[in-house]
Amino acid sequence: MAAIKPHTTDVDTKSDWDGPQAVADAPNDEKVLRYMHAWVDDEGDPDAKSSYKFPHHRPEIGAPAVIAAVNNALARLSQADIPEADRSGVERHLRKHREDAGLEKSAMPNELIELRTVKSELRAEVSESEPVTLTGYAAVFNRWSEDLGGFREMILPGAFSETIKNADVRALINHDPNLVLGRTVSGTLKLEEDEIGLRAEIKLPNTQYANDLVLMMKRGDINQMSFGFSVSESGDRWYEEDGELRREIVNVGRLYDVSVVTFPAYPQTIALARDVMKYRLVRSNVQEGKARSDDDRQALTQEREKLDVEKRKLKLFMLRR
C-alpha cells in the first residue's frame, strides 16, 4: 500500500466534482487510475478501481487536477481507511496540486515555523441539535507582546487577510496533529479577521478528547489559544526603539494551525525568532552601509552562526516532542 508520488499538472479551480461519476467513467487501466488518484493498494489488482482512493483528476491522462476534489480528499484524509504511514504522502500529493493552483505555498526546508499564544475568551456554545461550537481569538491586533526574550512584537490588522482566503488550516489541541478539532476545507473551522484579531469558530467533533476539552474549559483550566505560522522576509518590520528590539507583523505568509493550548508558546520557537531578528538587523546595517567597521561584519557572521545553532536546537526539540 502506498501514496502515489506527487506530480505537476494543470489545475481546475472552477469546476464542481462528482467523484463517483468520475470513477465510474474511468477505464480499468492502471496508468489512468494511478494518474487520477492519490493512493493505491499495491497488493490489489492494479487495473481494478477498488485498489485506489482519493480521485481528483477526470479519467484521462493529462486531465487537470480538480481543486474541489483535492479539497474534498483532504477533508476525508484523517478518517480514511488507509495505513497511518501513508497519510503524509497522500497529503503531499494533494497539497502539490493546491500549490500549483497558487492556493498555498510550499513549505521550504528552512522555513521558520513560529508559535504565539494569547489569552482568549474561549466560549463553548451547546445546542441539543447542533455540535458544540467553540469560539475564541487565536491572535489579537495592535497589542504589544510581553518581552519575548529580547524583543517585543505586534500583529497589525490585515496580517491574516490573504492567507486565510484559501488556506487549509486545522484546529488542534496543543498543536498536536493527532487531536484535530476542525478544519477549514471541511467547513468545521471558520477563520475571519475582525477589529479585534483572528477569530476562530470550531464545530467540535463528538470525540472523547473534544468533550474533555469542553469540560476543562468550563472548569477554567484552559483559556488560551495559539497559532502556528511563518512570515516571509517582507512580511514583517523590525527596528530598535529605546534600546529595545521591536517587530511588527504585517503579513502572515502561511498559517499552519490554530490551537487550544494548556501552555504558552514553546520557548525554543521564541528564541529562534529573536535570533532571526538580531541577524536581520545586523545584516541590514551592513547592506545599507551603516556598518562602521569590520567589527560590524564580524557581528553579522556571529549572529548567523548563532541563528544556525538555534535552528538545530529547534529541530531536535521538535523531533523529541
Tens-digit pLDDT profile for residues 204-217? 998 999 999 989 98
Rounded to whole angstroms, how far apart are CA atoms 299 and 277?
Answer: 14
Is residue 272 a part of any domain in this protein? no
- Angstrom distances, CA of residue 271 to CA of 121, 151, 179: 27, 10, 26
To the question of pTM greater than 0.85 for the whole model, the response is no
pLDDT in tens, 238-297: 788 887 888 899 999 889 899 998 875 544 444 445 555 555 555 555 555 555 556 656
What is the total count of domains within the chain? 2
pLDDT in tens, 91-124: 889 989 998 888 876 554 445 677 787 776 778 7
Both 118 and 236 in a single domain? yes
Do both 43 and 183 map to the same domain? no
Mean pLDDT over each residue of the chain, to the nearest integer? 81
Tens of pLDDT, residue by residue over 15-41, are 999 999 999 999 999 999 999 999 999
Domain range enclosing 72: 2-100
In a domain, 162, yes or no: yes
Does the pLDDT at position 202 exceed 80?
yes
Q: In what order do the strands lie in the sheet with 244-249?
A: 151-155, 244-249, 236-241
Give the Å distances, CA to CA, from 273 to 22, 148, 251, 279, 302.
47, 9, 16, 10, 16
Using the 3D structure, point to which of 35, 70, 100 is the last residue of a domain: 100
Whether 52 has a pLDDT exceeding 60, the answer reads yes
- Through-space distance between the first and last CA atoms of the chain, rounded to whole angstroms: 28
Tell whether 134 is covered by a domain. yes
Q: Which of 73, 100, 127 is the last residue of a domain?
A: 100
Residues 115-139 have pLDDT tens digits of: 787 776 778 777 666 788 999 999 9
Report the distance separating Cα 276 and Cα 265, nearest Å.
Answer: 17
